[in-house]
Structure 1
């Protein structure tokens, strides 16, 4: 009887967990809906952000931009003075709707060119089925899909920033959480252009085999039948991050270290005369765990990158802005937030 009771309790808990998954990732899941949010912006007498898409490596990527705020009176859009670029990548399982508070902050909108990009599988970055009816978009196998999806995730900040008019600005790109590891790939991809990549509370440890197995089940044919689409996308995203950790992370970190060292050894490095830190620093960690930091130090010798002990939450605008202010120390003078005509970084 005792075993039967325990079994019934277990079944009840599994059922409740299953209902919770459907509630969180389907019934009450928040995708960006321009018609739904328009009244909220109208109430604040603000212009709503522009929703746009771009095709990268055969993936359609959806993103939000407050480009309407990016005009400066008396200057051409592409050739004049522009606000600092801030690119935000949602955490695993979330869509760009989770980042709407950035766009609804009137002062922040006037100070930054804000762009929020949906991760693959979410919102406007949904993946269509291929000709065989498999959920791999334009690719014929899961392996090919995941490899190309990873490449797209790490390069999309560069391509979208360029499509939004970026030329010489040091773009600030913010990743967070369990899949922030792809930000290391972005740092590798953009290290020659001196961008600033921020990883908040990143999880760089490889997952346990049973959690990987569960994710593989969720994204399997059976899993896609019984779980909501956004939950499947969440675990697909985790599997792509697994590949990044096992196959590419070490190479990415070592390559960014190499590029930083090369820049800092140059006699006429622009950072020596145009930043307070006098050094090129392109990768910033906040709230990184002790074991993860040891891993990074093992790849670099412990002399590269910038680490802030305090955890920073992506959904806390003030915490993120304070982190960007700190990183100004290693930013070229003409791109520093304190030099922006519209952004006063001094606290009252």
Structure 2
């Protein structure tokens, strides 16, 4: 879900947004929607993560809130693919992990987008799992461990190894997407993996969890799933972005007031039982709009939050992986937080 990936050729850019809902058309002009300050089409890149975005999709809240706008939902498997679609202009709003967003805001990509919302702070839904018999991180020396390179889990894996006093070269780290990780695990081709749900849940059935991203966050290595919106779209259709933000906040509040209904919606989107959907939902930390605006996260227009510092920390990691040209200054990431847009959407609330 959060892999950075490489940029594809122009022909592949159009395909990147095909997903389950198709690529959609460019945000059009004219018609009833445009007359009301909304786009003809709102193209959303989503991922199969058990957070509020799937509730909004399942309940068709955006379709109801923006009746003159066609909502196109396109499924992506990685944040790298979301970045590619953003560069090509194929989607307006998307979900990517903090590592891909960091790359997007850094050179050479310098994607013209901003972060208006935190879908979730990654918790127990990302973890390092090893085969039974490996009881701690040091037991991974010489073993084959998979992670999508330059993703949030790759970032977390290297942090875990460093904590254990191990160098990257002491472990055979393999670059794999989650579906490939699951297949390699079932074949016995790998000894461990740092990956996210739903593949994580499959590995945990037969493996041992060595550390979770929730534990790493408590030790200062926070990762998150973030929304990104094209700057051009945010400037042209601020009311549509306001409505999108309000529906995301509505979804978070539903998880607190009626978890059964929230889990049922997520379960339908992920083809999970309500019980399993509830379990996966509980692995994430979801923030409502008030919490998003706090100093610990996005902050306010006058005082950008600590998320910018976490993104800069991720940039330092990406520089070591030679995925970005240089570590940007902190203000680059502070300007990448759409704090004004978030504040405007909930003005007076």
Q: Identify whether the pair has TM-score above 0.5, normalized to the shorter chain.
A: no
Return the structure number with greater helix share.
1
Band of TM-score, shorter chain: 0.3 to 0.5
TM-score by length of 1: 0.32
Return the structure number with greater strand share.
2
For the pair shown, the structure with the greater C-alpha radius of gyration is 1
Higher RCO by CA contacts (8 Å cutoff, separation 6 or greater): 2
TM-score by length of 2: 0.32
